[in-house]
C-alpha cells in the first residue's frame, strides 16, 4: 500500500507532554493518510475487488465474515499462546540447565542453533507428517520462538554482578537460593526482552505451520483462511484476515511490553522515565 | 610452609588468645601465575581496627578475600575465630562498590544475609530495622538503590554487613569512590559504630590519611608480590574527632606512614 506521509505534520512537541502526544498522533495520521490514499487509488483506477479491494470493502468483509474470522482468530491465537508458553518454558528451562552444567551446554547448544537457523517453513511439512496437526503447529511455533528466549536468558544468567555472586557465596547461599534470589532477578530484563521477541515469532511460527498444513488438514486458523480465500479469489477476506493477524501481532507485542514495563519499572534503566 | 590450607580453617583453638584473625605464611598465586601475596603473617586482635595500606595491586584485597573465605590460600594457614555453629556469619564484608541488588528495596537488600540463613520473618525484621538505624537509614527502608546517593548506597552495604551481627567486619576500599565530604562523614560514622559495637575491623585502603584517621594499627604492604613492609601503631586519644584530623599528631603519623609507603613502593622498583 502506498502511504503518503503527511507533509504538514505537526512540529515536534514543545514540551514533554506534547512530544508524547505527537508520538501517539503521528502514526494515526500516517494510518489515516494511507487508508485515504488506498481508497483513492482503488476508486480512481476503478480496480475490481478481486484484484484490490478498497478499505471500505475490507472493513465490511471483516464485519460480515466476523463469525468465521473470529473463530479462526481464536484458533490462531490459541496456537500462538501454546507455542509461546512452550517456547518460554523450554527456552528458560534449557538456559537454566546450560547454566548449571557446562557439559549439557556443550552437548546441546549446537543443536539448538541448528534448529534455529533451519528455516521453519522447510521443517513444517516434515513435522506435519510425523505429528498430529495441532501438535505440529505448536511445535513450529515453539521452534521459531524458543531460541531468542534461550539466548537472552543465557546472556542474563551470565551477567550477574561478580561481587554480588561473591556475597552470596560468603553467606553460604545454596544453589537454589542463588538461582532464586540472584540469578533469576538479574536475568529478568534479558528474559523479558527474549519473550518480547518470542511473542511475535510464535505468531509467525503458527502462521507458517497453518499455511503448510493448509491444504492437507482441517485447520481453521487465520493463515488457513488466507490460503483458502486465495484459492477462492476471495481477496477482501484475505485482507480482512491479514488485518486481524497484524492486529493480533501488535496486541501481543504491546501486552508483553506492558508486562515488561510493570515488572521492571521500579529498578531497571530500560523502564525508567528518561527525565529521571 | 604447610600445604594448601582451607581458607576457613576450624574454630580458634584457644579462645583465650584473643585473636580474631590469624594468617601464617599465607601466599596466593593465581592461575595466571601472578603472585598476589608472597607470604603474609598477620594477627588481628579481637575488637581491633586494622588498616591494610598499599598501592593498587599489592594484594590487600586478595588478603581480605582469603580471610572472608571467598578464595583459598595457595599455601599457609588462615584462621578466623567464630562463635559456635554460625561460621559464615561471623564475617561481614563490604565491597568497593555498594554491590546492592537493584531489583529490590533497601530493606530486602539488608535482609538478604538473614534470608539466606533462613531466619524467621519477625526476628529478621527486627534485625534489619536495627541495622538500618545503626547506619542512619531507617526512613529509607522502602527506597530502591537507584534512588539513593553514593554515600547512602554504601551505608546500605554497611547495614547489610552488620545485620548478621558479625564479629569481624572486612572492608575493601569501601569509600574510595565517594567524594571527600561524604567520605569524612562515613569515616566518623564508622568509628562511632566501631566504638559502640566492638567489632574487629580490617579495612583495606590506599589512602594514608584514611588509614591513619581510622586505625589502631596500619599495615603497609608492598606491591606484587604483596608482603608486609611496615607496621604503625596509632595511639591517639579516643574518641577521635575532626579535631584529630587537623592535629599535629595526625600529621606526624601521616608523614611517617607516607614515607614507609614510598619505601614499600621504592623497594619494588629497585629489585
pLDDT tens per residue, range A222-273: 888 888 888 888 899 999 999 999 999 999 999 999 998 888 887 887 766 5
Q: pTM of the predicted model, to two decimals?
A: 0.79
Chain A nearest-CA distance from B212, in A, is 27
pLDDT at residue number B11: 42
Q: Which of A171, A188, A190 to mutate to test the interface with B (most CBs of B within 10 A)?
A: A171
Which residues in chain A are closer than 8 Å to B97, comparing Cβ atoms? 163
Which residues of chain A does B103 touch, with a Cβ-Cβ cutoff of 8 Å? 185-186, 188, 266-268
Whether residue B88 and residue A185 make contact (CB cut-off 8 A), yes or no, is: no
What would the grid cell of residue B22 be?
590469624
Q: pLDDT tens across B168-223, in order? A: 899 998 888 888 888 888 888 888 888 888 888 999 988 888 888 888 888 888 88
Domain A54-271, CATH: 1.10.3720.10
| Res A249: pLDDT | 92
Looking at residue B9, its pLDDT comes to: 43
Query: What is the percent of chain A with per-residue pLDDT over 70, rounded to a whole number?
Result: 89
**B17: confidence class by pLDDT, cuts 50, 70, 90:** low
Strand B217-221, strand B200-205: pairing:
unpaired
The grid coordinates of residue A122 equal 522447510
For cell 484490490, what's the residue?
A52
| ipTM, 2 dp | 0.80
Residues of chain B contacting residue A190, judged by C-beta atoms under 8 Å apart: none
Cβ-based contacts under 8 A for chains A and B: 57
Give chain B's mean pLDDT: 81
Question: How many H-runs (helices) and E-runs (strands) does chain A carry?
Answer: 11, 0
List the single best residue of B7, B87, B94, B102 to mutate versus A (max A Cβ within 10 A).
B102
The CA distance from B54 to B73, in Å, is 20
Judge contact between A190 and A160, C-beta under 8 A.
no
A184 vs B contacts (CB less than 8 Å): none
Query: What does the longest C-alpha to C-alpha distance in chain A come to?
Result: 77
Closest CA of chain A from B113, distance in Å? 6
| CA nearest neighbour of A190 among A155, A219, A242, A218 | A155
Q: What is the DSSP letter of A179?
A: I
Interface of A with B in 146-185 (CB under 8 A): 161, 163-164, 166-173, 177, 181-182, 185
pLDDT for A8 equals 43
Which residue matches cell numbers 548478621? B164
**Ramachandran bin of A240, using left for φ above 0, alpha for ψ from -120 to 50, beta for the remaining angles:** alpha
Residue B47 DSSP label: T
pLDDT tens for residues B112-128? Answer: 998 888 888 888 888 89
Note the pLDDT of residue A4. Answer: 44
What is the mean predicted confidence (pLDDT) over B137-155?
88
State the best of A170, A174, A180, A264 to mutate against chain B, taking most chain B CBs within 10 Å: A170
Confidence bin at B3 (pLDDT 50/70/90): very low
Cβ within 8 Å, pair A164-B89: no
Q: A147 Cβ partners below 8 Å, 6+ apart?
A: A91, A112, A113, A115, A116
CA distance A75 to A244: 12
- What's the pLDDT score for residue A117? 86
Residue pointed to by grid coordinates 487465520: A222
Q: Is the pLDDT of residue B154 over 80?
A: yes
Distances (CA, A) of B53 to B208, B209, B221: 7, 10, 6
Which H helix or E strand runs over B170? strand B168-172
Q: Are A171 and B112 in contact (CB < 8 Å)? A: yes
Beta carbons within 10 angstroms of residue B151's beta carbon: 18
How many whole angstroms separate alpha carbon A245 and alpha carbon A73? Answer: 8
What's the CA gap between B162 and A113, in Å, rounded?
A: 47
Instruction: Find chain B residues with C-beta within 8 A of A164's C-beta.
Output: 99, 101
How distant is the Cα of B70 from the closest Cα of chain A, in angstroms? 6
Interchain CB contact of B70 with A (< 8 Å)? yes
pLDDT tens, position by position, for chain A (276 residues)?
Answer: 444 444 444 444 445 677 888 888 998 999 999 999 999 999 999 988 888 999 999 999 999 999 989 988 998 898 899 999 999 999 999 999 988 888 888 888 888 888 888 888 888 888 888 988 888 888 888 888 989 999 999 999 988 988 899 889 888 888 889 999 999 999 999 999 999 999 999 998 888 888 887 655 556 888 888 888 888 888 999 999 999 999 999 999 999 999 988 888 878 877 665 444
User: Could you give the CA distance from residue B46 to residue B172 in angstroms, rounded to a whole number?
Assistant: 19
Q: Is A106 on the interface with B (CB under 8 A)?
A: no
Predicted local distance difference test score (pLDDT) of residue A219: 61
Q: Own/partner pairs for A159-162, CB < 8 Å, 24+ apart? A: A159/A186, A159/A187, A159/A190, A160/A186, A160/A187, A161/A186, A161/B99
Could you tell me where the DSSP H helices lie in B79-142?
106-116, 121-134
H-only helix segments in chain B: 60-68, 106-116, 121-134, 150-162, 180-197, 208-214, 242-245, 248-270
DSSP state of B89: G
Q: Comparing C-alpha atoms, which of B152, B159, B171 is closest to residue B95?
A: B171
pLDDT on residue B83: 65
Instruction: Decide: A261 and A112 in contact? Cβ < 8 Å.
Output: no
User: Over the stretch A237-251, which tens digit does the pLDDT of each residue have?
Assistant: 999 999 999 999 999
Of B124, B132, B191, the closest CA to residue B157 belongs to B132
Higher pLDDT, B177 or B87: B177
Indicate which of B67, B94, B103 best probes the interface with A, i.e. most A CBs within 10 Å of its own CB: B103
- From chain B, pick out residues whose CB is under 8 angstroms from the CB of A182: 101
Q: What confidence tier does B270 reach under pLDDT thresholds 50, 70, 90?
A: very low
Output the pLDDT for position B271: 43
Å from B141 to nearest chain A CA?
14
Amino acid at each position: 500500500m502506498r502511504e503518503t506521509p503527511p507533509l504538514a505534520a505537526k512540529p515536534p512537541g514543545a514540551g514533554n507532554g506534547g512530544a508524547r502526544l505527537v508520538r501517539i498522533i503521528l502514526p494515526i495520521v500516517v494510518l489515516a493518510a494511507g487508508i485515504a490514499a488506498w481508497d483513492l487509488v482503488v476508486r480512481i483506477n476503478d480496480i475490481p475487488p478481486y484484484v484490490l479491494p478498497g478499505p471500505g470493502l475490507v472493513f465490511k468483509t471483516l464485519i460480515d465474515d466476523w463469525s468465521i474470522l473470529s473463530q479462526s482468530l481464536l484458533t490462531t491465537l490459541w496456537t500462538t499462546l501454546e507455542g509461546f508458553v512452550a517456547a518460554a518454558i523450554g527456552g528458560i528451562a534449557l538456559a537454566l540447565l546450560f547454566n548449571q552444567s557446562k557439559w549439557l551446554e556443550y552437548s546441546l547448544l549446537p543443536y539448538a542453533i541448528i534448529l534455529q537457523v533451519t528455516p521453519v517453513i522447510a521443517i513444517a511439512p516434515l513435522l506435519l507428517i510425523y505429528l498430529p496437526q495441532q501438535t505440529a503447529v505448536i511445535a513450529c511455533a515453539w521452534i521459531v520462538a524458543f531460541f531468542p528466549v534461550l539466548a537472552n536468558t543465557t546472556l542474563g544468567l551470565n551477567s550477574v554482578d561478580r561481587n554480588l555472586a561473591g556475597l552470596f557465596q560468603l553467606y553460604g547461599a545454596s544453589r537454589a537460593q542463588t538461582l532464586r534470589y540472584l540469578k533469576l532477578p538479574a536475568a529478568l530484563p534479558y528474559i523479558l526482552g527474549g519473550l518480547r521477541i518470542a511473542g511475535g515469532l510464535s505468531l509467525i511460527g503458527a502462521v507458517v505451520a497453518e499455511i503448510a498444513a493448509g491444504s492437507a488438514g482441517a485447520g481453521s486458523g487465520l493463515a488457513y483462511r488466507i490460503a483458502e480465500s486465495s484459492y477462492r479469489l476471495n481477496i477482501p477476506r484475505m485482507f480482512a484476515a491479514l488485518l486481524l493477524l497484524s492486529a493480533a501481532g501488535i496486541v501481543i507485542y504491546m501486552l508483553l511490553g506492558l508486562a515488561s514495563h510493570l515488572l521492571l519499572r521500579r529498578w531497571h534503566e530500560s523502564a525508567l522515565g528518561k527525565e529521571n | 610452609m604447610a600445604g594448601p590450607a582451607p581458607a576457613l580453617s576450624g574454630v580458634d583453638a584457644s579462645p583465650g588468645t584473643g585473636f580474631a584473625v590469624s594468617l601464617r605464611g599465607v601466599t596466593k598465586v593465581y592461575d595466571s601465575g601472578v603472585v598476589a601475596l608472597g607470604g603474609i603473617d598477620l594477627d588481628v586482635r579481637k575488637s581491633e581496627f586494622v588498616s591494610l595500606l598499599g598501592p593498587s595491586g599489592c594484594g590487600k584485597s586478595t588478603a581480605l578475600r582469603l580471610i572472608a573465605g571467598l578464595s583459598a590460600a595457595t599455601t599457609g594457614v588462615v584462621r578466623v575465630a567464630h562463635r559456635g555453629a554460625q561460621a559464615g556469619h561471623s564475617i561481614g564484608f563490604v565491597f568497593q562498590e555498594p554491590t546492592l541488588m537493584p531489583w529490590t528495596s533497601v530493606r530486602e537488600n539488608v535482609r538478604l544475609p538473614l534470608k539466606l540463613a533462613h531466619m524467621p520473618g519477625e526476628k529478621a525484621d527486627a534485625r534489619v530495622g536495627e541495622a538500618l538505624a545503626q547506619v542512619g537509614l531507617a526512613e529509607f527502608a522502602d527506597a530502591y538503590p537507584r534512588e539513593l546517593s553514593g554515600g547512602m548506597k554504601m551505608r546500605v552495604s554497611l547495614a547489610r554487613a552488620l545485620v548478621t551481627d558479625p564479629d569481624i567486619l572486612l572492608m575493601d576500599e569501601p569509600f574510595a569512590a565517594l567524594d571527600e565530604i561524604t567520605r569524612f562523614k562515613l569515616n566518623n560514622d564508622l568509628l562511632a559504630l566501631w566504638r559502640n559495637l566492638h567489632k574487629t575491623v580490617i579495612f583495606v585502603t590506599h589512602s594514608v590519611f584514611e588509614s591513619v584517621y581510622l586505625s589502631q594499627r596500619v599495615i603497609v604492604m608492598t606491591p606484587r608480590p604483596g608482603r608486609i613492609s611496615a607496621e604503625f601503631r596509632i595511639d591517639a586519644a579516643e574518641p577521635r574527632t575532626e579535631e584529630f584530623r587537623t592535629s599535629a599528631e595526625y600529621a606526624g603519623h601521616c608523614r611517617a606512614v607516607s614515607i614507609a609507603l614510598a619505601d614499600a613502593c621504592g623497594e619494588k622498583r629497585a629489585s
